[in-house]
Amino acid sequence: MANRWADWYAQAQHDLEHARSAAEAGRFDWTCFAAHQAAEEAVKALHLRHGQEAWGHVVARLLATLPAEAAAPTALIDAGRVLDTFYIPTRYPDSHSEGPPFEHYGRLQGEEALRHADHVIAFVAEALAES
């Protein structure tokens, strides 16, 4: 079976660009969701690069379960926790007590999501270069 880590990493970069485009368009719900997706895919790429399969969508857990030679710092795991808050409620109307998701996300959340995703992807890029 082929190790497709490079495909996962390429998709992460593509989704991060989508997150930036969504922010420029003022679609901060999609900015937040795409930033989460980008971080998730990047960390899965790193797992695959180290011969591990990674399942699930919880970025913090994916970071915490990296092999010792690619261990993520605690601050990055905390950034993953923030990104994880954007996985479901950015998309589903019943995730909030009222109003559609797009009404609950603005520039502040979008910038935070992009910042955290950038940090995760930079960490993964460095770890991939070292492996």
pLDDT in tens, 39-97: 999 999 999 999 998 999 999 999 999 999 999 999 999 999 999 999 999 999 999 99
For residue 3, what pLDDT band results from cuts at 50, 70 and 90?
A: confident
Cα-based torsion angle of the residue sequence 29, 40, 18, 113 in order, rounded to the nearest 10 degrees? 50
Query: Whole-model pTM?
Result: 0.95
pLDDT of residue 1: 59
Note the pLDDT of residue 44. Answer: 98
Specify whether the CB–CB gap between 72 and 83 falls below 8 A. Answer: no
User: Domain of 72: which CATH number?
Assistant: 1.20.120.330
- Mean pLDDT, the chain, rounded, equals 96
Distance (Å, rounded) from C-alpha 121 to C-alpha 94?
Answer: 30
Look at residue 101 in the predicted model and tell me its pLDDT: 95
pLDDT for position 23? 98
Using an 8 Å Cβ cutoff, are 90 and 103 in contact? no
Answer whether residue 10 shows pLDDT above 90.
Answer: yes
Q: Give CA separation, 131 vs 23, 50, 125, in Å.
A: 33, 8, 10
pLDDT surpasses 80 at 2: no
**pLDDT in the model for residue 59:** 98
What mean pLDDT do residues 97-102 have?
Answer: 96
How many structural domains compose the chain?
Answer: 1
What is the distance between the alpha carbons of residues 77 and 62, in angstroms, rounded to a whole number? 9
Residue 25's pLDDT band, with cuts at 50, 70 and 90, is very high
Supply the range of the domain harboring residue 11.
Answer: 5-130
